[in-house]
Amino acid sequence: MRAISIALWGAAIVVAALTFQKVYAAEDYTLIERNKIHNANKKRPAAGCFIPTQHGVFVAINKHHNDIQLPMGKANTGEKPRDAARRETFEEIGIDVMVLQLVHTAIQGRRIYLYLCKPIHRIKFLQRIPTSTKHYFRSTSVGKVIILNPNSMVDQNLEPVETPWRYHTDKALLIELWNDWAKGRQLR
């Protein structure tokens, strides 16, 4: 009887060990799959628009952080950077644009694409109207849209803008791009 009991316990331990390995393997597989998904989200590129005018560049002022930022954001899964730039620009500053050409790429934790863009419709006003009608837009993070001269740091009304930049490299980049655009140089 004792031999049968030991044999049964031994079989139970083997079954338990095999079951544990299967469960562990299944959990490990799930963690691996979750990491793949998480890493894929981390690697999605960001894209945005450089929208120059004769007075400056369209930028947004974030209402939560009170900083200047370009209209830019992460691409959705499977979305091309050009399409992400157009979508993000409309979502953030309410301007529907035609994406013309790539003017800058960088890697800052993810690949970033900045495109020269042109508004499709004439812009008549820059004040945000928080409605949900089809003619206007609602943004959760942008408080104000301005045209900023990056050299003199004045807005379209020639008012000084003392708001800090969200990313310190954006100011130098915008100065370079805007000066090249203003002088009629071909943007790369």
Q: What is the CATH number of the domain that holds 72?
A: 3.90.79.10
Q: Specify whether 49 is located in the same domain as 10.
A: no
Rounded to 5°, the CA angle 187-170-69 comes to 110
What is the extent of the structural domain holding 1? 1-43
Question: pLDDT tens, 121-171?
Answer: 877 654 444 433 333 445 567 788 888 999 999 988 888 988 888 888 888
Place of tokens 């002088």: 183
Q: Specify whether 22 is located in the same domain as 49.
A: no
Q: Into how many domains does the chain fold? A: 2
Whole-angstrom distance, CA of residue 62 vs CA of residue 167:
12
Give the dihedral of Cα atoms 77, 82, 187, 163; nearest 10 deg: -70
User: What is the model's pLDDT at position 60?
Assistant: 86
The amino acid at 150: P
Phi, psi (degrees; rounded to nearest 5) at 141: -120, -20
In three-state secondary structure terms, 50 is strand
Q: Specify whether 25 is located in the same domain as 84.
A: no
Q: What is the pTM of this model?
A: 0.68
Beta bridge partners of 146: 59
Q: Specify whether 37 is located in the same domain as 74.
A: no
